[in-house]
């Protein structure tokens, strides 16, 4: 029997508001509204965070500005999940899960949490500035954002072996469970007639492996 692996899902939600809405401020309103409504008093500790470390053995000094993570709305929920602003998106990060079923359950809980957060936040706004959240991966205007997965892998496994095993899985599963989307958004594909794509994000990828998750 294999060793049980810890896994989880992070989802950046698409967000839209009025014509003059600031997505970062709107995302902060979503997170803070739920934190205050849910009486959350726990924040995220960044002491052990090191986003500049690359799993391939590199260190990218200054690749990410600390202010992007540490100075935006951020809270830990009572179910162990994290709700925060990632750049200009509200993001729900599930707690560590012990099975695929558990990961799906917590992901579904995240949808309900975001629905409630939207409801509470909109109670403070007039009709012209209501916020709408979308569980998608692109905005139709050439911007892509992520649904991220996390897997616990034994340290002794060579990273090249992880790439060889995971890339075919990530590519082939789009045929089975890809969300798909209508049309195309990238400059390289706009000259072609793409009525429908199996993957919502494939056209945005520029490299197989990289430090950035989106």
Residue 151 in any domain: the answer is: yes
Q: Which residue, 46, 107, 120, 50, is CA-closest to 79?
A: 107
Of the pLDDT bands very low, low, confident and very high (cuts 50, 70, 90), residue 1 is very low
pLDDT, position 146: 78
Residue 203 in any domain: the answer is: no
How many domains does the chain fold into?
1
Residue 193 in any domain: the answer is: no
- Reported as a single tens digit per residue, the pLDDT across 2-23 is 667 788 999 999 999 888 889 9
pLDDT > 90? residue 133:
yes
Q: Would you mind telling me the total number of residues written for the chain in this entry?
A: 214
The pTM score is 0.78
- Reported as a single tens digit per residue, the pLDDT across 150-185 is 787 888 899 999 999 999 998 999 888 888 888 888
Residue 129 in any domain: the answer is: yes
More confident residue, 36 or 192: 36
Residue 213 in any domain: the answer is: no
Active site residues: 86
Q: Tokens 């100075």 identify what position?
A: 71
For 38, phi then psi, to 5°, come to -90, 5
Phi-psi region of 180 (alpha: psi -120 to 50; beta: other; left: phi over 0): left
Mean pLDDT of 204-210: 84
Q: Please give the Cα distance from 18 to 109 (Å, whole number).
A: 27
Residue 188 in any domain: the answer is: no
Residue 209 in any domain: the answer is: no
Residue 77 in any domain: the answer is: yes
For residue 159 the two structure tokens come to: 């990273």
Cβ–Cβ < 8 Å for 157, 45: no
Domain region containing 162: 7-177
């Amino acid at each position: 029997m294999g060793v049980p692996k810890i896994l989880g899902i992070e989802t950046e939600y698409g967000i839209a508001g009025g014509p003059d809405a600031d997505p970062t401020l709107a995302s902060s309103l979503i997170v803070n509204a739920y934190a205050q409504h849910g009486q959350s008093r726990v924040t995220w500790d960044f002491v052990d965070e090191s986003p500049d470390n690359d799993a391939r053995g590199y260190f990218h000094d200054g690749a990410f500005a600390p202010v992007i993570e540490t100075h935006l709305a951020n809270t830990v929920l009572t179910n162990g999940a994290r709700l925060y602003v990632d750049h200009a998106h509200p993001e729900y990060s599930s707690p560590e899960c012990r099975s695929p079923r558990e990961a799906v359950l917590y992901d579904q809980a995240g949808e309900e949490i975001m629905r409630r957060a939207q409801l509470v936040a909109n109670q403070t706004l007039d009709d012209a500035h209501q916020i709408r959240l979308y569980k998608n991966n692109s905005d139709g205007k050439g911007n892509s954002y992520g649904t991220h997965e996390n897997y616990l892998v034994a340290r002794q496994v060579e990273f090249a072996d992880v790439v060889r095993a995971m890339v075919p899985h990530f590519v082939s599963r789009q045929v089975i469970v890809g969300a798909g989307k209508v049309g195309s958004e990238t400059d390289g594909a706009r000259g072609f007639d793409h009525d429908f794509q199996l993957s919502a994000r494939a056209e945005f990828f520029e490299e197989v492996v990289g430090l950035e998750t989106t």
